[in-house]
Structure 1
């Protein structure tokens, strides 16, 4: 089945009927953050807030975000799709519907959502649809997942402002970032967590547009 899945169009999202079935139990992962030593699973301190950010390959995105002041902890994982508790190999087929994301737990007294999203839009190219650079497929699509409706409205406003900034810079491409209510988040396997801290010379595909996001 996985062999057939690899031959499909990985730029198209699966339906509930074609998605892989997944499993009832979470896949094994790390318990603590490799850099900070903080727990990867809740409970987190009461004042913390969360956002799920997809910027292509989650290795480089996670390193950028765990180094951001005000970020309490980061977790690499999968979200936005259908298959429960997917593996990395399953997600790479495009048949889970998930994209690679970083769960960002942050202190809003130190860094605002607006400031995080400014970093998000400037650090990758959110106009590429189902890809990010050489990483091609639905699993690499740009995404922002939030639970609060007001925060979703804020994210859409910032996306529109960045799209206008791109146009003013002579780049008329539309922002394709998926901005939606956060659903289930599934932590990735242990070896993906803080990958570039464990493998400093590992692959990082983060490439921004060079255009500043006009907020903050």
Structure 2
């Protein structure tokens, strides 16, 4: 039986153990290559973090794993480039990885929302307000309306990684809006995979989190079909592999 591999390029250290949890649950390898920079949630630092040279270094580190797909697991380090820049970022990363199917967490959100036929969301962001607003703009360019968004103002990814499940639940509930079809939680530095169903029950609607959609997008690109309801509404049915 073939065991698939989805390579994850991850900034610094915060919630990368979510991918080890996913590997154990799904029977898919999720090797993580770390790239490093200042983990400040600020535009100049995020642009540097997602630069072609750093991402190419991550791809090189994963080359021996021979991944079936590759995902840049940093929402803010992709949407900060805007839709066109984020697309070029993915294309350059794919080329550096030898044409491996490649995406980023920002595009994973867009694809997941499209599959769920969701166009109105509430955004529970951990970032400062100005960075959170750039994510809202990224979604808007894809036809998704953020009916509300909250920027929690947490300055670094390391701080986000220390949030407890209770704190994440509180953040989610505070950001929700009755007009939103789903709640979006965009930071890969935030632990969420172990309590996604609790999150959805807490707000009473589908919840998409950064590490969840990153895993889902990698599986989609690798052509792996999986149903795992414990990972939320997004994993309740076999994914559609039609569009990449």
The answer to whether the superposition gives a TM-score over 0.5 is: no
Q: TM-score, normalised by structure 1?
A: 0.32
Return the structure number with greater helix share: 2
Structure with larger RCO (C-alpha < 8 A, sep 6+) = 1
